[in-house]
Structure formats: C-alpha cells, structure tokens
Amino acid sequence: MESIGCTCLEAILGCKKTQKAGVKGPKGNFWSGNEEEIKQMKMERREMILDIKSHDFLEKVQPDFAKWASQYGGIFMFWSGKKPKLHISDPELAKQVLSNKFGFYRKIDVGPGIMALLGKGLVLAEGADWARHRRVVSPAFTMDKLKTMTGTIADCAEAMLTNWNEKKEVEVSLEFQELTANAISHTAFGSSYALGKEVFLAQKELQMIIITSFFKRQFPFNKYLPTEANRSRRRLERKMRDTLMDIIERRLESKEAAYGEDLLGLMMQACMSGNTMTMDEIISECKTFFFAGHETTSHLLTWTIFLLSTHQEWQQRLREEVLRECGKETPDADKISKLKLMTMVLFEVLRLYSPVMVLGRTAIKDVKLGSLVVPKDMDIIIPVAGIHHSKEIWGADANEFNPLRFENGVTKAANHPNAMLAFSTGPRACVGQSFAMLEAKIVLSMILQKFSFVLSPDYKHMPADMLTLQPQRGLPILLQNLSA
C-alpha cells in the first residue's frame, strides 16, 4: 500500500513522498500553489464560445482539470496555496469517499463567502449537528409531502407562463431563477414571494461577489480587511438575517397549530417543543434551503430547454408523452410519475450539464483509499463534470445527448453503477432531489403543453462555472404559442 502523505514541508521539498507513491501532478508556486495558473487558464478561456452542438465544455470550464488529467491521468495532486488536493475521477473511489460510513471524511472548507451564502445549514454541517438537522428536515421531503406541493409549484409556473403569452422571446435562465425561488419560498417557508425575493436577491449579489473575488489575489488575512467586498458581504448577511427573522416572526404570530407541516414549521417545532434546534440554526438552515432549493433546479430547467431546443425531435417526443399522460390539464403527482421519457431526458441533462461540477471532502485521519493511503487533512476533489463526460465510463458517445442511455435506469447507464453523481451519493446525497425532479417535471410539462421553442440567434453557447454551471450570457429562446 502506498502513502501519498503530503505536509507543507513536503510541498517545500517538492512533494517527494507523493511522487514516490506514483501520484503525479503540476508543480506549484511556494506560496500560492497552482492557484495563479488556475486563474490564468480560466481567465484565458472565459470568453470562449462553443458550437451549440458541442457539450464538451471541460476545456472552457475546468481547463485546469482537463489539462492535468490528460497529462497525469485521473488521479493527480495539485495545490491550493499550501493545501494539497487530490483529484480522483474513478467512480469506485469516489463512491468509497462519498459513502464512507465511519465519518472518515468531512466537507471541505469553503471559505467565508460561501459560508455567508449558505450558512452552517445542512450542506455544510458536520457530525452530530448534521445528523440532528437531517432528522428534522427530512420529513418535509417525503413523497406524501411532495405530492401536496404540486399544486403550489404549478401555480408558480402558471404565473410565469401567463407572462410568456405576451412574449415572442424570453431569457429563460432568469425566468427559471425567479420561478424556482418563488416555488421554494411558498412550499418550504409558506412565505410570499415578496419576502422570499429579498433573500433571493441578497444571495444573488453575494454569489456575484464570490465569483468576482475568485479572480482577485487572495491573502489568508483578506477576510479581516475592511475591503468593499467584505463590507458588502456583511451588509448582505445582515439583510438576509433580518428578512429571515421577519419570515419566522410572521409564522410565530400566525399561531398556526404546531407551526405548520412545511420545512419552516418542522424546524420551528424542533426549536420550540423539542429544543433540538436553536433559532440561529433555523436561520442558517433557511439560508441553505433558499439557495440550494432554487439555484440548482433553475439551471437544470435552463439546460433542459437548451437541449430540447437543439434536439427538436426530443422536444416533440416529450410533448407527445405529456399530452398522452396529462392532456392539456395541469399535471398532478400521479400523472407526472408516468413521464418515463421525461425522466430519462432530465437525467441526461443532469449528466451533461450537472449544476454541481465538483464534490469535495477532507480526510479527518489517514485513510486507505484503493491502493493509496490518503493522509489526514488532504482534500479530495471529485470532478463530477469530468466523470460525467468520460468516454471510458459512458462509452464513445459520452459527449452526446442520448437520453436512451437511461432506458434501464441510472445504475445501468454507465460501466459503474455510481457514475451518475449529479445529486451525489451516500449519506450526504441531496435531500431535495425528489423535490427538484418533481418541480422540473411539472414546469417542463406545462411549458411543453403550451409552447414550442427554438434557440434565439442571440444565444452564445458559453457554459460557465458560477458556483453552479450556468450559461454565461443567459439562454434567450424564441417561443411559439401552441394555442394561438
């Protein structure tokens, strides 16, 4: 068994131990590791425009991983400052890391920006705190609960589509961000969109600050300086906290029996009756669910519209399926469950354009992983996008849109049952995945019932890493109203 132990001292010495273990990687700068090179590569490719038929965007979006994987193979090491990171693109090793039942890995440190955005809610919580929170929130996402939300999600979609009636062209990326924020505000927090929108806008602004700061030089003490970005971050954190407190207080005042059965109600019951959650924890969890609950699903919908615009035959097949199962009526949960082709299409979109492109963990002790020993404190980077686009894993057509590969289910679509990592796997897998799939199916069905669509000639195919995978300049489409 070989150790890839790497401490800062070994970094200084050229990481001899790592090289001895056969794990190679780019040499980094003494202070900044490979960070400058990564920024440079990403800057150079930022304005790259791809052919609309090409889904092979790794060279643009993750040029660092693309370059080093071609030089060193799927397992290599690189440096973020003085922190070593191990890139692993083998789905079996990824599964072992993500499904580890003994808690040998924790979530990677995300820095103050993302912490401000998400709060220390479920996505970033650890150990006993995480288990306690997950127990409280899980009942909000059972199938029975989700079924009761279909009407609310459909109402939100209907409001958006009524607006589309007046339009010939829409920028769907923005439309879907508003729609999914609206849907999570109503279903999880029972709040009006007016209040939810304030949280949503504060999170958008914070997200832009985080993305912009990636390209600026960072020093370890940066977060303590009164820079414009830090001042804005604190202002937005206060704004989010005040708005969330407002939403919570309104629920307290409404004196609903046991605070309600939605996510907010369950958390408030846990706070008031069982003392299993504090008010600060509820606020953090609200931030997490506001962000996680809309950001990813909106991009799933956006990329689905992109792929159905460029594959008109699939747009037509899905429309036929929707009209067969739901007619022109608003779809309910039972009808939605019959949309087999739509499920395959959504999985294929999640494979090609997974909103979450990287999963990260840190070893909390020396851990055996395959034939390696990962030393304590080593970060492990699982390149979801790289795994999803690998020809070795998905076959020669890995970069093509082929929903039929999911005909026999997700576990049989590739040469490894856990190769599909859009929702991750193991105990920290996405708690909102059924909600996301349900919402995407309702919205998509309602769009297909009413409109056909093609890409606007103004569209530029520029997938970009903006914490999630997004079209850099939005997605304008041209609509045709089918009932006109």
Q: Which residues bind ligand HEM (CB under 6 A)?
A: 122-123, 134, 288-289, 292-293, 296-297, 300, 355-356, 359, 422-424, 428, 430-432, 435-436
User: Residue 117's CB: how many other CB atoms inside 10 A?
Assistant: 26
Beta carbon of residue 1, minimum distance to ligand HEM (angstroms, whole number): 27
Beta carbon of residue 291, minimum distance to ligand HEM (angstroms, whole number): 9
Q: In this structure, what are the phi and psi dihedrals at residue 481, rounded to the nearest 5 degrees?
A: -75, 120
Between 123 and 367, whose beta carbon lies closer to ligand HEM?
A: 123
Task: Name the residue with the smallest CB distance to ligand HEM.
Answer: 432
CB 381 within 8 A of CB 404: no
DSSP secondary structure of 420-445: --TT--STTS-TTHHHHHHHHHHHHH
Between 58 and 359, whose beta carbon lies closer to ligand HEM?
A: 359
d(CA 163, CA 114) in angstroms, rounded, equals: 33
CB 306 within 8 A of CB 455: yes
Beta carbon of residue 422, minimum distance to ligand HEM (angstroms, whole number): 5
Beta carbon of residue 216, minimum distance to ligand HEM (angstroms, whole number): 25
For strands 372-374 and 2-3, give the pairing: parallel
Can you tell me which residue has the tokens 């996680």?
Answer: 292
Beta carbon of residue 403, minimum distance to ligand HEM (angstroms, whole number): 16
Beta carbon of residue 436, minimum distance to ligand HEM (angstroms, whole number): 4
DSSP secondary structure of 200-269: HHHHHHHHHHHHHHHTS---TTGGGS--HHHHHHHHHHHHHHHHHHHHHHHHHHHT-GGG-SSHHHHHHH
CB 380 within 8 A of CB 97: yes
Between 288 and 402, whose beta carbon lies closer to ligand HEM?
A: 288
Beta carbon of residue 200, minimum distance to ligand HEM (angstroms, whole number): 14
DSSP secondary structure of 279-301: HHHHHHHHHHHHHHHHHHHHHHH
Between 18 and 362, whose beta carbon lies closer to ligand HEM?
A: 362
Can you tell me which residue has the tokens 């900044």?
Answer: 32
Between 77 and 122, whose beta carbon lies closer to ligand HEM?
A: 122
Between 399 and 424, whose beta carbon lies closer to ligand HEM?
A: 424
Q: Where are the alpha helices (DSSP H) in 333-473?
A: 333-336, 340-352, 384-388, 391-394, 433-450
Beta carbon of residue 55, minimum distance to ligand HEM (angstroms, whole number): 17
Beta carbon of residue 121, minimum distance to ligand HEM (angstroms, whole number): 7
Beta carbon of residue 430, minimum distance to ligand HEM (angstroms, whole number): 3
d(CA 437, CA 350) in angstroms, rounded, equals: 11
Between 21 and 431, whose beta carbon lies closer to ligand HEM?
A: 431
Rounded (10°) angle between helices 193-214 and 228-254: 160
326 is in an annotated binding site: no
Token output for 289 = 């669910």
d(CA 379, CA 108) in angstroms, rounded, equals: 7
Token output for 383 = 């390149």
Between 77 and 263, whose beta carbon lies closer to ligand HEM?
A: 263
Between 41 and 431, whose beta carbon lies closer to ligand HEM?
A: 431
The number of C-alpha atoms within 13 Å of 158 and in the hemisphere containing its C-beta is 10
CB 314 within 8 A of CB 144: no
The number of C-alpha atoms within 13 Å of 60 and in the hemisphere containing its C-beta is 20
Which residues participate in the annotated binding site? 430
Annotated binding-site ranges for heme: 430
